[in-house]
């Protein structure tokens, strides 16, 4: 990491674990619950947020000194909205099926609290390079949780990973299905995502007692 | 030196060992421990947690034994091998053959439920370093009674682990749980493996395996049939009352549940307020639906007609509302604590149960959902009851002062 100073590295690594936007700050929960039934959707959603947050942070940081503070929220919204429209159009053009699955949640990236939160809390007060690192760091933190949740939900709920059957065929009864295993339908429902996020929080806080607040 | 003394010495010798709570649990199960309270006298009563739990289990045992016979009876009856029993003491019901099937199918459920659940409890006790809590004793007995007889054992184990960990341990163990763990287990099974928890193939042993063969048979529950406007399948009221109908293992016999309820009320373990108010709630909703039918607001072609047209009092002997009211809703931890709160809590359970039963043909048995929902609201109900009480008393004080 010759490229990054120690402080800069922390900007990326902190949100991955001890300051994770989902499990510690509890932001961006809605999309984490809604689209994680499939691993593929989780990954695409993560990439979309990575793009929006990385670029958006840089843009806001570049114009931070000329934004009148009274209308800064509107300016931020315009930046996010433009970026989200780009993501949405690209998805519709190149991954139509997936954009159907993600449906309204691509548009809802605009209201994802992580993005506005980083704009307000970081990009408005820091230079573009740092803001970029902070943006992708937080997006990766979001992605880690989404992918863990998506992995378990798809594996246990549908017996597939990225759409490829890994546990055998549930109808032909091959693989583990031949010994009586069944897919867990509960995994495909959003409440189970909340429980899995809760379990991640549980594991994280029992490993690092500093994170427990009273 | 007696066995008790030896065990006690063993305990003292291993005082700092991590596994000691595991040993203590078994030790106190057999003997009263030697420790006594040191600071002054506290409440002296024989009904500690273990006694309470055992009383509930005693009230459940008749249901369990009946469920074993019923498992075999329904199995043979569906295959046409025996005559249908006439009443509670029917000759073809209390037979050795029926019991063998019951033991073969139901005992493993009991063993798995207790084995897995207690294993989880022991693990948590050792990690957290507290004594093993008795809370699972009743849950472990309730679980086999509220699942279909053919449920695969591994599914039950997964559900028990989920129910005990998510339903109870994350909140801090026995006495701290918001949701009834047994119902959490059933809800998990219901949403995770719906094909094993509903439909017309799961309630009679072997019906699922025989599907597609020339000997295929089914055993729909009366509730499932009514939800599809198919009538009561030739079962009369007494069949339902005595419980010789298909259903979850232990909830079919209304007669034995009523006996259990009287036992619980007599020993003051179960709250009669909750039981009575639940039944009142169910009857009220049933009456409303009967009114809708007699006012001809819905026609016979409506998909709700079958269940709405059931005479209101019959809702109590169809399905498991009685079992839920007596054994589930009265759970002292998850129910409302104040007396007025208990009336509200119970009434809403009954009311919502019947509403779910009628309006959601996919989940005709809404009792467990209604109880879980009200478990969540119980603290809110208590809060407002207490606040109301405080307000009333404050007013009185003010009047006096003036």
Q: Kindly write down the DSSP assignment for every residue of A80-99, as one continuous string.
A: HHHHHHHHHHHHHHH-HHHH
* pLDDT at site B344: 92
Q: Are B60 and B185 members of one domain?
A: yes
Confidence (pLDDT) at B391: 92
Question: Does residue B7 lie in a domain region?
Answer: no
Distances (CA, A) of B232 to B72, B242, B307, B314, B344: 21, 15, 10, 11, 32
| Sign of the C-alpha dihedral computed for residues A131, A134, A140 and A145 taken in this order | negative
Mean pLDDT of chain A: 83
Least confident segment among A188-192, B341-345, B357-361, B393-397: B357-361
* Distance of alpha carbon B289 from alpha carbon B1, whole angstroms: 68
Is B241 found in the same domain as B106?
Answer: yes
B194 touches chain A (CB under 8 A): yes
Among A196-205, B112-121, B217-226, whose mean pLDDT is lowest? B217-226
What's the mean pLDDT when you consider all of chain B? 82
Whether residues A198 and B193 touch (CB distance < 8 A) is answered with no
Candidates A171, A182, A197, A206: best to mutate against B (most CBs of B within 10 A) is A182
Q: Which two tokens stand for residue B40?
A: 């002054």
pLDDT at B300 over 80: no
Same domain, B304 and B261: no
Please report which residue ranges of B14-135 form alpha helices under DSSP H.
20-30, 49-78, 96-128
**Cβ-based contacts of B372 with chain A (< 8 Å):** none
Last residue of a domain, one of B206, B239, B266: B266
Chain A CB within 8 Å of residue B373 CB:
no
Q: Answer whether residue B4 is part of any domain.
A: no
Same domain, B282 and B212: no
Q: In whole angstroms, what is the distance from residue A138 CA to residue A141 CA?
A: 5
What are the tokens at A83? 């970026």
Q: Write down which residue in B266, B289, B318 finishes a domain.
A: B266
Task: Identify whether residues B220 and B363 lie together within a single domain.
Answer: no
- Which residues, in sequence order, are bridge partners of residue A165? A160
Q: Using CA atoms, how far apart are residues B286 and A125, in angstroms rounded to an integer?
A: 63
**How far apart are the CA of A186 and the nearest CA of chain B, in angstroms?**
4
Q: Are residues B284 and B217 in the same domain?
A: no
Query: Does B214 lie in the same domain as B110?
Result: yes
Q: Any idea how long chain A is?
A: 214
Q: Residue B233, class by beta-carbon neighbours within 10 Å (0-12 exposed, 13-18 middle, 19+ buried)?
A: middle
Residue B49 burial (CB count, 10 A): 13
- Spatial CA neighbour of A203 closest among A151, A133, A118, A145: A145
- Return the bridge partners of A160, or none: A165
Evaluate the CA torsion angle A131, A133, A139, A142 in order and state its sign: negative
B143 and B218 both lie in a single domain: yes
Asked whether the predicted pLDDT for residue B280 surpasses 80, the reply is: yes
Please give the tally of structural domains in chain B. 2
Instruction: Verify that B200 and B283 share a domain, yes or no.
Output: no
Output the pTM of the full model: 0.84
The three-state secondary structure class of B209 is coil
Q: What is the pLDDT of residues B83-108, one digit of tens each?
A: 777 777 777 778 888 888 888 888 99
Instruction: Using the predicted structure, report yes or no on whether residue B77 has a pLDDT greater than 70.
Output: yes
Mean predicted confidence (pLDDT) in B204-219? 66
Q: Is the dihedral of CA B363, B367, B368, B371 positive or negative?
A: positive
Note whether residue B3 is domain-resident: no
Q: Is residue B328 part of a domain?
A: yes
Question: Do residues B164 and B296 share a domain?
Answer: no
Q: Are B383 and B238 in the same domain?
A: no
For residue A46, give both structure tokens: 């993560």
DSSP-assigned states of every residue in A118-166: HHHHTGGGS-HHHHHHHHHHHHHHHHHHHHHHHHHHHHHHHSEETTEES
Q: Which of residues 168-187 of A touch B (CB under 8 A)?
A: 180-182, 184-187
Distance between CA atoms of B318 and B221, rounded to whole angstroms?
9
Which H helix or E strand runs over A77? helix A72-94
Chain A residues whose beta carbon lies within 8 Å of the beta carbon of residue B155: 182
Cα B171 from Cα A82, distance rounded (Å):
44
> Is residue B242 in some structural domain?
yes
- Residue B167 three-state SS: helix
Residue B40 is assigned to a structural domain of this protein:
no
Residue that finishes a domain, picked among B266, B289, B305? B266
In a domain, B288, yes or no: yes
For residue A1, the model assigns a pLDDT of 46
pLDDT mean over A102-131: 83
Best residue in B188, B192, B363 to probe A by mutation, most A CBs within 10 Å?
A: B192
What pLDDT does residue B347 have? Answer: 93
List phi, psi (to 5°) of A160: -125, 165
- Kindly state whether residues B87 and B218 are assigned to the same domain: yes
Which residue in B152, B166, B194 is closest to A185 by CB distance? B194
Tell me the residue range of the domain where B244 lies: 16-31+49-266
Alpha-carbon distance B264 to B269, whole Å? 5
Q: From the list A184, A198, A202, which residue is nearest B192 (CB)?
A: A184
> Which residues 140-179 on chain B approach chain A with CB closer than 8 angstroms?
152, 154-155, 158, 166, 170
Averaged pLDDT for residues A102-124: 82
């Amino acid at each position: 990491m010759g490229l990054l100073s120690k402080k800069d590295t922390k900007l990326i690594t902190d949100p991955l674990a001890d300051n994770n936007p989902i499990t510690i700050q509890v932001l961006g929960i809605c999309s984490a619950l809604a689209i994680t039934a499939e691993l593929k959707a989780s990954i695409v959603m993560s990439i979309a947020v990575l793009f929006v947050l990385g670029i958006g942070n840089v843009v806001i940081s570049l114009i931070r000194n000329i934004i009148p503070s009274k209308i800064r929220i509107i300016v931020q919204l315009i930046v996010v909205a433009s970026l989200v429209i780009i993501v949405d159009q690209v998805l519709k053009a190149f991954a139509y099926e997936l954009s159907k699955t993600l449906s309204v949640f691509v548009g809802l990236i605009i209201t994802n609290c992580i993005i506005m939160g980083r704009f307000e809390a970081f990009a408005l007060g820091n230079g573009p390079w740092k803001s970029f690192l902070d943006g992708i760091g937080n997006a990766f933190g979001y992605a880690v949780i989404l992918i863990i949740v998506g992995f378990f939900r798809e594996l246990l709920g549908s017996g597939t990973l990225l759409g490829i059957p890994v546990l055998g065929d549930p109808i032909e009864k091959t693989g583990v299905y031949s010994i009586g295993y069944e897919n867990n339908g509960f995994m495909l429902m959003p409440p189970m995502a909340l429980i899995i996020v809760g379990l991640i929080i549980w594991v994280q806080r029992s490993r690092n007692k500093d994170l427990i607040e009273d | 030196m007696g066995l008790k003394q030896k065990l006690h010495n063993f305990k003292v010798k291993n005082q700092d060992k991590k596994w000691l709570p595991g040993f203590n649990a078994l030790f106190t199960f057999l003997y009263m421990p030697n420790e006594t309270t040191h600071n002054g006298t506290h409440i002296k009563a024989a009904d500690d947690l273990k006694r309470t739990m055992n009383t509930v289990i005693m009230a459940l045992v008749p249901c369990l034994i009946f469920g074993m016979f019923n498992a075999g009876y329904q199995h043979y009856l569906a295959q046409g091998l025996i005559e249908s029993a006439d009443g509670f003491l029917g000759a073809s019901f209390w037979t050795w053959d029926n019991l063998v099937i019951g033991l073969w199918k139901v005992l493993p459920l009991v063993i798995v439920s207790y084995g897995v659940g207690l294993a989880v409890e022991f693990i948590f006790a050792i990690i957290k370093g507290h004594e093993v809590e008795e809370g699972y004793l009743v849950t472990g007995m309730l679980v086999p009674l509220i699942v279909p007889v053919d449920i695969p054992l591994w599914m039950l184990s997964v559900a028990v682990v989920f129910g005990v960990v998510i339903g109870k341990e994350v909140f801090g163990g026995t006495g701290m749980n918001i949701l009834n763990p047994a119902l959490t287990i059933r809800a998990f099974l219901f949403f995770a493996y719906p094909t094993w928890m509903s439909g017309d193939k799961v309630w009679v042993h072997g019906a699922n395996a025989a599907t597609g063969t020339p000997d295929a048979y089914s055993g729909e529950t009366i509730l499932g049939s009514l939800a599809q406007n198919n009538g009561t399948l030739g079962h009369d009221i007494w069949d339902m009352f005595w419980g010789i109908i298909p259903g979850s293992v232990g909830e079919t016999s209304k007669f034995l549940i009523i006996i259990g309820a009287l036992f619980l009320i007599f020993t003051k373990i179960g709250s009669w307020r909750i039981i009575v108010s639940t039944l009142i709630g169910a009857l009220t909703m049933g009456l409303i639906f009967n009114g809708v039918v007699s006012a001809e607001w819905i026609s016979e072609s409506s998909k709700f007609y079958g269940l709405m047209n059931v005479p209101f009092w019959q809702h109590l002997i169809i399905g498991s509302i009685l079992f839920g009211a007596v054994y589930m809703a009265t759970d002292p931890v998850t129910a409302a604590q104040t007396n007025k709160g208990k009336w509200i809590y119970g009434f809403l359970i009954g009311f919502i149960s019947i509403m779910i039963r009628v309006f959601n043909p996919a989940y005709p048995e809404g009792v467990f959902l209604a109880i879980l929902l009200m478990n969540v609201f119980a603290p809110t109900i208590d809060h407002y009851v207490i606040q109301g009480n405080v307000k009333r008393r404050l007013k009185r004080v003010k009047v006096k002062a003036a």
